[in-house]
Amino acid sequence: MRIFITGSTGVIGRRVVPALLAAGHEVTAVARAPEARERLVRAGANAIALDLLDPAAVRRAVAGHEIVVNLATHIPSPGRMLLPFAWRENDRLRREASANLCEAALAGGASRFVQESFALVYEDAGDAWVAERSRIRPVRYNRSVLDAERAAARFASHGGAGVVLRFAAFYGPDASHLRPLLAAARRGFAALPGAGDAFISSISHDDAASAVVAALRVPLGVYDVADDEPVRRREYFDLLAAALGVPPPRLLPPWVKLVSGSLGELLARSLRISNWKLREAAGWAPRYPSVREGWAATIGALSEQPAAPAELEAAP
- Residue 255's domain comprises 2-311
pLDDT digits (tens, 9 = 90+) for 199-235: 999 999 999 999 999 999 999 999 999 999 999 999 9
Q: What is the DSSP letter of 248?
A: P
Q: Could you tell me if residue 26 is inside a domain?
A: yes
Pair 268, 198: CB distance under 8 Å: yes
Count structural domains, the chain: 1
Q: Could you tell me if residue 250 is inside a domain?
A: yes
DSSP letter string over 250-296? BPPPHHHHHHTHHHHHHHT---EE--HHHHHHH----SSSSHHHHHH
Average pLDDT over residues 23-49: 96
Q: Which of 95-109, 222-236, 297-311 has the lowest mean pLDDT?
A: 297-311
Pair 78, 16: CB distance under 8 Å: no
In this structure, the number of other CB atoms found within 10 A of the CB of residue 285 comes to 15
Residues 6+ apart with CB under 8 A from 132: 166, 221, 222, 223, 224, 277
Instruction: For the chain, state the CA radius of gyration.
Output: 19
State the Cα–Cα distance between residues 150 and 251, nearest whole angstrom. 37
Q: What is the DSSP letter of 183?
A: H
Q: Could you tell me if residue 167 is inside a domain?
A: yes
**CATH number reported for the structural domain that contains residue 296 in this entry:** 3.40.50.720
Q: Could you tell me if residue 316 is inside a domain?
A: no
Q: What is the pLDDT of residue 309?
A: 44
What sign does the CA torsion over 78, 96, 130, 270 have?
positive
Q: Could you tell me if residue 277 is inside a domain?
A: yes
Q: What is the pLDDT of residue 311?
A: 37
* Burial of 225 (C-beta count, 10 Å sphere; 0-12/13-18/19+): buried
Q: Could you tell me if residue 56 is inside a domain?
A: yes
Q: Could you tell me if residue 22 is inside a domain?
A: yes
pLDDT digits (tens, 9 = 90+) for 141-200: 788 899 999 999 999 999 999 999 999 999 999 888 888 899 999 999 999 999 999 999
In this structure, the number of other CB atoms found within 10 A of the CB of residue 197 comes to 12
Q: Could you tell me if residue 84 is inside a domain?
A: yes
Q: What is the pLDDT of residue 86?
A: 55
